Amino acid sequence: MTTTIYHNPDCGTSRNTLAMIRASGEEPTIVEYLKHPPPRARLEQLIATLEIPVRALLRENGTPYAELGLADPKWSDGQLLDAMLEHPILINRPIVETPKGTRLCRPSELVLDLLDHPVSQFTKEDGEVVSHDRGGQ
């Protein structure tokens, strides 16, 4: 299995996550999910692997979340998936898959635990410096 990132190049968190992956020496498969949304079965598989409820993958800011009334608990998981597939911007990002696991990397430094050779220190686009405790690795 290679590293895959479900990426939005307009998102700073996603860009930082991709940069951390590359800084570790890996070149991931990049899925620009706004241009190429995952098929329904793949989205369901990602959610199952993440071990989160469907609703937990919904992005609210900068999306039609409020306009569509998705905060209402009346929506079934199937209906929420339909909304994400119709409006991929509703899918929170970045999602990263590696042989070590799958994770929604918000904040971006969560990716460090998924990498074989993470950098010990990384400076994000906004100047924030994050450190990775390798925990004896």
Catalytic member of 5, 8, 11, 17: 11
pLDDT at 71 over 70: yes
Show the tokens assigned to 11: 């998102």
Percent of the chain surpassing pLDDT 70: 96
Does the active-site annotation cover 105?
Answer: no
The per-residue pLDDT for 132 is 86
39 within a domain of the structure (yes/no): yes
101 within a domain of the structure (yes/no): yes
Measured CA to CA, the distance from residue 47 to residue 3 in angstroms comes to 17
Which CATH number covers residue 31? 3.40.30.10
Number of domains in the chain: 1
55 within a domain of the structure (yes/no): yes
- 30-57 per-position pLDDT tens digit: 999 999 999 999 999 999 999 999 999 9
pLDDT at 135 over 90: no
The per-residue pLDDT for 136 is 43
22 within a domain of the structure (yes/no): yes
15 within a domain of the structure (yes/no): yes
Mean pLDDT score, 73-80: 98
- 83-131 per-position pLDDT tens digit: 999 999 999 999 999 999 999 999 999 999 999 999 999 999 999 999 9
Show the tokens assigned to 79: 């209906």
The per-residue pLDDT for 95 is 98
66 within a domain of the structure (yes/no): yes
Q: Are 37 and 91 in contact (CB under 8 A)?
A: yes
Label residue 101 left, alpha or beta by phi (over 0 means left) and psi (-120 to 50 means alpha): left
72 within a domain of the structure (yes/no): yes
Mean pLDDT score, 61-82: 97
137 within a domain of the structure (yes/no): no
Q: Which domain holds residue 9?
A: 4-131
pTM, two decimal places: 0.92
pLDDT at 134 over 70: no
Q: Tell me which H or E stretch contains 97.
A: strand 95-98
